[in-house]
Amino acid sequence: MRRTLPVLALCVALLSSSAAVEAAPESLPVRTFSYGGHARQNITVYGGGSSGSRPALMILHGGSWVRDTDWSARARWFAARGFTVYDTDYRLASDAAWPAQRDDVLAALRWVKRRGGGTPLVLGSSAGGHLAVSAATYGAGRKRVRGVVALSPVASPYRAWTDGGMRAASPAQRKLRRTSELLAGCVPDRASGRCWKKWVDLVAKSHASGKDDAPLYLTHSAADFVPVAHSTDLAHAQRVAGLRDVTVRIEPGSAHGGVLLRDPAVAQAVLRWLRKHT
């Protein structure tokens, strides 16, 4: 049936504003570059044209900080809608403990800026959402990030560690507890000063500084195994500190991270927010 679909209908499906993220054209220029010496420190750039004529969008994949996940289809989708997309890999928790992952994102942002991408927007999913909001809040985040969309961000690995230890925790929450420990390199213990400081540093709201930070669009599903409290706590801290451009959105269902973009309404809401902040 797919082979007999008329060419015109296929083009309409790909160009329609309501098309799913997965329906992305394949004919976009794609190149991969290194921004550091480690094998995972690389950026795949989607979309032609000069960076000055196309807003820059950095994508940070999820995977609980322990695995890579494929965002190529979504990168193509955003590139087809006018962005130069920088699909960015970073060292996993098995490669190095925190703050190596944040250091990688900051280095990648500097690389994008040197190549003429200016101050990019950032879209992160799950663990990548944690890195996105960390980049937006650490120091003067607004100087390096134009705005952040975070899908199911694990904004507080400490909360994830705590939730994963509860009797009613789901298998996904228990796994996230283990990978949070691996990311930190230690078990949270207030009596252990160095370790405890690392866990505090992992929590994005610990760095909330209001107007110095980038605008935030944070979304979870109602039954997300990373609960919306991760985002509402961060949003509250930012609003108290003076940041007004903060949105928290809850979608029905249990979709997590990038899966949220399979809903055309969610994808279009994200696209509208990104375009508004270019």
Would you say residue 175 lies in a domain?
no
Decide: pTM greater than 0.85. Answer: yes
What CATH code is carried by the domain that includes residue 46?
Answer: 3.40.50.1820
Would you say residue 142 lies in a domain?
yes
Would you say residue 198 lies in a domain?
no
Q: What is the pLDDT of residue 141?
A: 95
Would you say residue 269 lies in a domain?
yes
The tally of domains found in the chain comes to: 1
- Rounded to whole angstroms, the Cα distance separating 137 from 195 reads 21
Q: What is the pLDDT of residue 25?
A: 52
Would you say residue 17 lies in a domain?
no
Would you say residue 265 lies in a domain?
yes
Instruction: Encode pLDDT of 82-117 as tens digits.
Output: 999 999 999 999 999 999 999 999 999 999 999 999
Q: What is the pLDDT of residue 191?
A: 64
Structural domain span for residue 83: 25-155+205-276
Instruction: Encode pLDDT of 38-81 as tens digits.
Output: 999 999 999 865 455 799 999 999 999 999 999 999 999 999 99
Q: What is the pLDDT of residue 57?
A: 98
Angle between helices 193-202 and 157-164 (to 10 degrees): 110
Q: For the chain, list residues with pLDDT below 70.
A: 1-27, 48-52, 191
Q: What is the pLDDT of residue 1?
A: 34
Would you say residue 137 lies in a domain?
yes
Q: What is the pLDDT of residue 65?
A: 98
Would you say residue 174 lies in a domain?
no
